[in-house]
Chain A
Amino acid sequence: MKQSFTRMILLLAVFFALGEVMAQGSRVSGKVSTQSEGSPLPGVSVLVQGTSNGTVTDLDGNYSLDTGEGKVLVFSYLGYVTETIEISNRSQINITMEEDISEMGEFVVTALGITRDEKSIGYATQQVDGENLTYAKEQNVLGSLAGKVAGVQVEGASGASMGGTQKIKIRGVNSISGASQPLIVIDGTPISNSNFSGDDGTDYGNLGQDVNAEDIETINVLKGPAASALYGIRGQYGVVMITTKKGKKGSDVQVQLNSSVSVESVFNLMPYQNQYGGGSSQTWRTLPNGDKYVDMQVDESWGPKMDGTLVRHVQSFYPQDPEYGQLAPFVAHPDNIKDYYETGSTVNNGVTITGGGGNSNYRISLNDTRIQGVEPNTMLKRNNVGVSLGVDMTSKLRISSNINYAMNSGRRPGQGSEDGSRYLGQWFQRSLDMERLKNYKYDDGSFFHWNLRRPSSSTGELASFSPLYWANPYFIANENYSEDNRDRLFGDVGLTYQVLPGLKVSGFVRTDTYTQNIDSRAAFGGRGVPGYSIGKYQNREMNYELLAQYSKTWEAFSLNANLGSNFYDRNYTYLSMATVGGLSSPGFYNINGSIDRPSTTNYELNKQIKSAYGMVSLGYKGTYFLDASLRNDNSSTLPEANNSYWYPSISGSFVFSELTDWKVLSLGKLRMSYAQAGSDLSPYGTTSFYNVGTVYTGENGPVNTLAVPDNLNNPNLEPSFAHSYEAGFDLNFFEGRLGVAFTYYQQINKNQILNLDLSGASGYGSATINAGEIRNKGYEMAINGTAIKNSKLTWDIAFNISRNRNEVVELYPGIDVYQYGSTTYSSTTSYLNSYEGKPFGSLVGQAYQRDEATGKILLGGNNIPLYTDATYDFGTVLPDFNGGLQNVVRVGKFEISAMIDFQVGGQFFSRSKMLAVRTGLDPLTVETNDKGFNVRDDVASGGGVRVEGISSETGEEVIAYVNPQTYYGTVGRRIYEDWLYDASYVRFKEFRIGYNFTKDVLGNFPVENINVAIMGKNLGMIFQNAPKGINPAEISVGSQSIGWYESGQLPSVRSLGFNLNVTF
């Protein structure tokens, strides 16, 4: 490797030397600066008119040039009005350049941090300003991209998770395996966006959230392989490029304080019935003395009517309880689930200091966030420190650095149907008083639970106070919590050397290093054996990068060329341990307290990628542009014979507005691109190994065991390839009053590296293979406009929408289905499968059996619906459209903004709803039937659920009434067809009203600017097809890349707050 770097440097040196074109004649030098700020303007092309002789200004705006016979100098720079100056025998010419209004704001940061004129780019990119991302102070900044970028789908997590997983998909699912997370790059440094969450349990969120939202200048989303080609295999699912704010050279010190406070509360909870309480039968259970008691052994609400009958409640069985032995009315507690949630709060304080000296610039930011969650005993604390520096060591050598440090510590709620408090909406008694449960601990240290074994039928006393299926939710929150913390450092140090005018070479060392700790505890006095687990996960990712950038302009031609190499080196280790068989003493949470041999895992992963890449961009008359790039990646995870691969990209743009004089059209551009992208796999997938089993220490001593793993590795893997085509146009009318961007794309991913599910009879559950083809095609459109613009009022509107269609074209010979995942509950399994010839991600499960002729449901002997096996295809989970709409109105010094995002189509299974019905919590279980009776009334006297269908035995049509407990016992457990919901929604995502106090108001007050604002986020669902209480925008599957079933999702959280920003 070292060798190759030396070689690279030598070659680059030769390359630089080519630019050394010397001419003889008189020399002119000078400085170019901006008219507006007077700051130096680097990179300005200075050309002797009528020749190809020219140069480019250096970082300080200085140039020096032999003019030969020339009489006139032409200064040109994209975004500025070209200046033509007569030399008139001067040797010193300093000029200022005026910004070209018509071309303002059209620079974008492209791959490798190269800033380019937007019109020269032959592929779609969409940039979002940092300001636009912090309006509503999203905890996980990636979540604030939702609805703002065409072609980007964000699947979020509830605010109750405090920075839970935000999944980003760009242009659909481009892998049959479902993997689709884009690369996140901050100031050129790729950072990890991995996730320590499982499918359920605590959602620790994706690590991309360590970026401090306050530091972000812009986020640019590189959507297709053409845009991200220079990132190679790491950019195969697109790139989210984050550029942070920087100080400016020669500017005054500016101090900015930012403070915000917000309160969070739950909304959109599921409705519950309030007529029948805990139990499995409407008949009262009685104690030996005849007292009725609430059946504390049953975690369902099929019990007696809550009519105030005097009964023994569960607390009356605790001898240490003041209510011991007493009767109390059996009544509903309509808000008993809502009462569990608290009002959360977020307090955020930040300071930034920016400024610059004559040859340096700096920005320092500090941020402190403290969140109290809406679930009891949950919190998150985060600190960010950001430092960005730049110093010109000499006129040609610049050193720069970005350093970000993030510290998180959290105590977060569990999610998923069996985790934490999530059972409340699924297995619970409507008759329980949450206020009573809140006192979960008696003075003597013993715990109060509600779900216990029944009292002895001889003594009437409880024999056991150990919780049966569920512990008191407050016990779980306060005793069985899990904690996590993470320290992270990421950033870069770089040197840039201006070798020659127009040619600079730079070297960067970039790192992303973190240590993540996670522990969890199961306390004495809860369910099962007490235990403790702890894991320490350490990751170090280094990128060593060399880049040469050359730009030159000859008359009508412009050339940009880049040549670079990158060495990626990742080392990841972890050590995780868990106690087995219990803990030695209460309150002592340590592996040392394990009763049996603890389970431990230590793990190490190493991966390297060596890359070289180049790009040439040619422009003609600012009208025709052509880009070509080529990248070579060598990945250590592929077999040696197949580990080097190449991929090219080519793109072009045609700015046709340059050819017309039609003033209305400020910009008109056509663009097209083609690119290939590749991908490798995780380490250790090409060689075979054995799993280590637990040691069996029996009477004859220890026996150690090893096992063949379930996945079959493959020594012959090849990299997979994606081919993408894209075409589109950008139109800009009335000098930016109206802009339209449209893109059509098609991406074909072939020969993918998949862990293909096998028939287990082959000896393996899956095999890593090259196979398959998946196609995505679609379009995206963004419209930006200023509806009203006058001295008093401006009204900006931004709208975007995208449509993606997906097809799995091919799988593996002999195998028609790729199984992405499955979920089993109560012995009923449903799947997310992909079939050849259909879109990715079909929901598959048990449906009603139907009569072929009429389509009516077939009923069994007891009039309960019959169901198919778990192979019924309900169709894809992928949405049809995604988009968003943002309005910003400025009236005087007020600024009001509001944003909605939406999705059309897509679907998911809701296990929460299914279980709420099955366990008698849902209002459906107390409906009035068509005879006017409550369905829970005795069937013989008019009650029961009306069931219509065709008897499978007689073939006759049947209308029958069935006991709801029996009916939903099957339908709410076996037949997923009924619990399948459309995922369309329109969400009121952000709202903000701000007021700006400027200097003219503040007068002598020693402050430059004060901005106050009221802000709200996740304000409500304007529309959803899914039943109330199930949020289709926050489907809970933790770290899974595809959201396809909802199971005990955390409640939706609304946030309202106040923000104060002071600039000194």
Chain B
Amino acid sequence: MKKSIIIFSIAILSSACNNFDEDININPNAPSQASGTQLIANAMTSLPGLSSTTSGEFMSQYLSETQYVNASLYPQSSTSFYWLYQGPLMNLEAVLESDDLSGNEGPVANQLAVAKILKSYYMWHTTDRWGDVPYTEALQGADNFTPAYDTQESIYTNLFAVLKEAKDQVVPGTISNDIIYNGDMDKWVKLGNTIRMLMALRLSEVNPTLGQQEFTAAMQDGVLASNDDNLVFKHLQDGNFQNYWYGQIDLQGREWWALSTTLVNKMKPYADPRLPIYGNPNRTDGEYTGLVFGDTEDYDTEKYSLLGSAIHEQDSPVYLVTYAQTLFAMAEAAKIGWVTGGDAEAENYYNLAIENSMNQWGADISTLASFMAQPDIAYNPNTAVEQIATQRWIHLFMHGYEGWAEYRRTGFPDNMVSPGGADVPNRQIYIEAEQFNNTVNYNEAVQRQFGGTESLYGKVWWDVN
């Protein structure tokens, strides 16, 4: 008996064999290496997501709902920022943290510069929507599962520095695998500077000194100089990379969005050549008719101008940072004295901005001169700030979050409505999962910014009006 127990144990022990083929647990279905530009390219494919969403259109009141009216009534619901971190930001971080980038895809310094510019752009977008968000402790994977929230002020300051660093490190040579600029580093540098300049303008109310300083520096470094320099995501006639609105309207048959009265009232009285692009004539009498934003009674698909056909083609592009937007910024800067030239220069930028906006949208510019000559449209030193802001808001059509940010900063256009008594929100609410997964930091951020309770109406740092 004893013997058998001993042998029994030996038998078990001896078969404790834990040698397997070395690569048995290496995933054969996915690469274990990624190059810098492959990761950057993947981050680029998320760019349309910054604009192609209904909630952005509702924040800026570009589009009204023609059916199931609810999301445009500004319900107090949360919006997740996780996809930004897990998607594009993490891919860019992986490039920035990599120690084996290959020069075969273009100078490593340039790959890093592009990653920095894109990361800054995504972070800027993120903080403008929610306020304080994780930044310095974010994207560290196993090293920090619960990143603290940075203040928006510190994020801005840091991004200014990162963008300067990016510009300074660019060396001659193109990078490969570039969806946006086909490797043209000059355009990337201009984009980085433009982002810096537009960010600086955001500080016009909260910290004009810093704003002016960064604005002028960025402008001097060279900003977008034509529509060819635009940050635009070109969709393809390919189901894998098609326009969001095409999928919604054409494939799913959702005629759910009409131009808002807010928008039509700023365009139709002036026969704005962009209006036939932005919307279709209504199907009842062929007029351009806006649907009152947030109307829960008289919504319809037949009586109002639905979203313009050119905007929901399968390959309709998404415009993100544009030359016209750059010109509007410079017009405003001239008007408020951040840059020299005063009203004359402001007017020049303003006219150029509108013209380039028309060109960008493919509007019929044969009537441009008469359009510009109308009293409300022609540059007027007394109302220039409003004119610039309103025209910029019209230009930013479909880039809802940007149009909304500029509205929050400037208060224009002046005809935004409050559906069911709910004003245009000042920010978006953090996703509930943060309360579960990042409790301490979430609570601290909400306490710091809003005294403990968050809502759509807490204000982000730069929004002081």
Q: Which residues of A contact B (CB under 8 A)?
A: 1, 3-4, 7-8, 11-12, 14-15, 18, 280, 297-298, 453-454, 456-458, 464, 466-469, 527-529, 550, 559, 561, 563, 565, 580-582, 595-597, 599, 602-604, 606-608, 610-614, 616, 630, 632, 634, 636-637, 640, 643-644, 683-684, 686-694, 696-700, 703-710, 712, 714, 756-765, 767, 812, 814-817, 819, 826-829, 831, 833, 861-862, 869-871, 966, 969, 973-974
Contact = CB atoms under 8 A, between A and B. Distances in A.
Contacts of A827: 71, 75, 77
B85 interface: yes
Nearest to A870: B432
Interface string B263-296: 0000000000000000000011000000000001
A472 to B, nearest CB: 14
Contact of B147 (A691, A761, A831): A761
Contact of A453 (B1, B31, B241, B255): B255
A829 B75 CA distance: 13
A761 B81 contact: yes
A712 B139 CA distance: 12
B39 to A, nearest CB: 6
A581 B30 CA distance: 25
| B4, B71, B255, B284: residue with the most chain A Cβ atoms closer than 10 Å | B4
A454 to B, nearest CB: 6
A604 B147 contact: no
Contacts of B27: 683-684, 687, 689
Contact of A689 (B30, B44, B145, B240): B30
B234 interface: yes
Interface of B: 1, 3-5, 7-12, 14-20, 24-35, 38-39, 41-42, 44-45, 67, 70-71, 75-78, 80-83, 85-87, 89-91, 93-94, 133-134, 138-142, 144-147, 177-179, 182, 234, 236, 238-242, 251-255, 283-284, 296, 301-303, 420-421, 429, 432-440
Contacts of B420: 861-862
B42 A614 contact: no
A689 B34 CA distance: 8
Contacts of A861: 420-421
Given A708-B39, A816-B436, 17 more contacts: A3-B17, A7-B15, A8-B14, A529-B251, A582-B239, A636-B25, A683-B27, A686-B25, A694-B241, A703-B179, A706-B34, A707-B91, A759-B147, A760-B80, A762-B140, A763-B85, A763-B138
B94 A454 contact: no
A505 to B, nearest CB: 12
A182 B434 CA distance: 34
Given A692-B30, A762-B85, A862-B420, A698 B432 contact: no
B8 A815 contact: no
Contact of B433 (A3, A12, A636, A759): A759
B434 A580 contact: no
Contacts of A528: 251-253
B18 A467 contact: no
Contact of B25 (A637, A703, A704, A826): A637
A705 B17 contact: no
Contacts of A606: 24
Nearest to A579: B239
B75 A974 contact: yes
B106 to A, nearest CB: 13
Given A710-B86, A762-B138, A612 B11 contact: yes
A764 B86 contact: yes
A42 to B, nearest CB: 22
Contacts of B29: 602-604, 684
A707 B253 contact: no
Contacts of B179: 696, 698, 703
Given A596-B238, A761-B438, A690 B14 contact: no
Given A612-B16, A643-B18, A760 B4 contact: no
Given A708-B91, A814-B145, A819-B436, A11 B31 contact: no
Contacts of B241: 694, 696
Contacts of A280: 67
A698 B236 contact: yes
28 contacts: A11-B14, A468-B253, A527-B253, A528-B252, A550-B4, A580-B239, A597-B238, A616-B5, A616-B8, A634-B20, A640-B18, A684-B25, A684-B26, A684-B29, A696-B236, A696-B240, A703-B179, A705-B39, A706-B38, A757-B437, A759-B147, A761-B134, A762-B147, A763-B93, A815-B436, A869-B76, A869-B429, A966-B296
A759 B148 CA distance: 11
B90 A708 contact: yes
A597 B7 contact: no
Q: Interface residues of B: mostly helix, strand, loop or mixed? A: loop
Interface centre among A464, A595, A690 (most CB of B within 10 A): A690
A953 B241 CA distance: 48
A684 B20 CA distance: 14
A761 B15 contact: no
A611 B83 CA distance: 42
B146 A814 contact: yes
B253 A691 contact: no
Nearest to A566: B15
In the A-B complex, the 10 residue pairs with the closest CB atoms: A760-B82, A581-B239, A817-B436, A612-B15, A761-B134, A705-B42, A684-B27, A759-B438, A580-B239, A763-B90
A527 B252 contact: yes
A457 to B, nearest CB: 4
Contacts of A468: 253
Interface centre among B71, B238, B251 (most CB of A within 10 A): B238
Q: Which of A11, A640, A831 has the most CB of B within 10 A?
A: A11
A636 B24 CA distance: 7
Nearest to B14: A7
Q: Which one of A608, A764, A969 has the highest number of Cβ atoms from chain B below 10 Å of its Cβ?
A: A764
Contacts of B182: 700
A698 B44 CA distance: 13
B12 A703 contact: no
B306 to A, nearest CB: 11
Contact of A973 (B4, B30, B70, B87): B70
Given A528-B252, A632-B16, A761-B81, A596 B138 contact: no
A1014 B35 CA distance: 68
A608 B239 contact: no
Contacts of B76: 869
Contacts of B11: 8, 11-12, 15, 563, 612, 614
Contacts of B25: 636-637, 683-684, 686-687
Contacts of A817: 436-437
B72 to A, nearest CB: 11
B454 to A, nearest CB: 9
B141 A762 contact: yes
A634 B13 CA distance: 12
A595 B239 contact: yes
A815 B138 CA distance: 16
A705 B36 CA distance: 10
B118 to A, nearest CB: 13
Contacts of A616: 5, 8
Contacts of B80: 760
Contacts of B284: 457-458
A690 B251 contact: no
A690 B34 contact: yes
Nearest to B297: A281
B296 A762 contact: no
A4 B15 contact: yes
A761 B138 contact: yes
A550 B87 CA distance: 59
Given A708-B91, A759-B146, A816-B439, A456 B4 contact: no
A817 B442 CA distance: 14
Nearest to B431: A760
Contact of B18 (A634, A684, A764): A634
A826 B138 contact: no
Given A759-B434, A762-B146, A827-B77, A457 B302 contact: yes
